[in-house]
Amino acid sequence: MNTKEHILSGARKVFERFGFQKTSMSDIALAARKGRRTIYSHFDSKEAVFKAVIDTEVKALSLKLQEIARQDQAPDLKLRSYLQARMRAIRELSVYYAALREDLLQNMGVVETLRQEYDQLEISIIKGMLDEGNEAGIFRVADTRLVAEAILIATKGFELPIFMGKRDYDNERHILPMIDVLYEGIRAKPERPG
């Protein structure tokens, strides 16, 4: 692990424990076991460290989900795996959700651009799976981008309890019935004889 990674690892722990507002650069330096001068040689502010921590969390999730989307399996199974993995991984984004909560309460705007970029990436991944399913005759989706956006919005609803800090919420168990309903809606139906 290089110096920057050490800093981000320590900062993640401090932000997770104290939140953005209550964390200082001294706290980050202490957690990373580096001097403040070293922290400032890599990041010009606490906000820059914070954004880098969140970006690291989101990129790790993104890589996991992109890997699922590239798997060699039927598009319907791939989409199911994607949604389940997404819900499991969401629990790991503790700093991200703490940041969103704090961002909302403090109106900081620190996370908004990153969140929008990630949403567009996810829509693109889901759309790709829907397009693949259409081509294979497994799905029948007229506007795959619109449906991808709807799926993302629906799954975000299952994140709300985590966003609100409910650690014992089993989002994966709750999303399974929604996945079944989704499949019934987009699955291609065999033609019935007239």
User: Which is more confident, 183 or 55?
Assistant: 55
Q: Kindly report, as residue ranges, where domains of CATH 1.10.10.60 are found in the chain.
A: 1-44
Cβ-based neighbour number of residue 130 at 10 Å? 23
Is pLDDT at 20 greater than 70 in this prediction?
A: yes
Is pLDDT at 64 greater than 80 in this prediction?
A: yes
- How does pLDDT run across 127-175, given as a tens digit for each residue? 999 999 999 999 999 999 999 999 999 888 877 776 666 667 776 677 7
d(CA 22, CA 187) in angstroms, rounded, equals 49
Is pLDDT at 108 greater than 60 in this prediction?
A: no
Q: How confident is the model at residue 35 (pLDDT cuts 50, 70, 90)?
A: very high
Mean pLDDT value across the chain: 83
Q: Kindly report, as residue ranges, where domains of CATH 1.10.357.10 are found in the chain.
A: 46-186
Of 14, 106, 96, which is closest to residue 58 (Cα–Cα)?
Answer: 96
Contact 139, 189 (CB under 8 A): no
Note the pLDDT of residue 58: 80
Fold of 46-186: Tetracycline Repressor; domain 2 (1.10.357)
Note the pLDDT of residue 181: 80
Alpha helices by DSSP H, listed for the chain, are 3-22, 25-32, 36-42, 46-70, 75-90, 94-106, 112-135, 144-157, 160-163, 171-186
Amino acid of residue 187: R
Note the pLDDT of residue 171: 65
| 132 three-state secondary structure | helix
Fold of 1-44: Arc Repressor Mutant, subunit A (1.10.10)
Contact 147, 187 (CB under 8 A): no
Give me the mean pLDDT over the 183-191 stretch. Answer: 75
- How does pLDDT run across 66-105, given as a tens digit for each residue? 999 999 999 988 988 888 888 877 766 655 666 656 655 5
DSSP 72-115: SS-HHHHHHHHHHHHHHHHTT-HHHHHHHHHHHHHT--SSHHHH
Of 82, 63, 62, 93, which is closest to residue 163 (Cα–Cα)?
Answer: 93
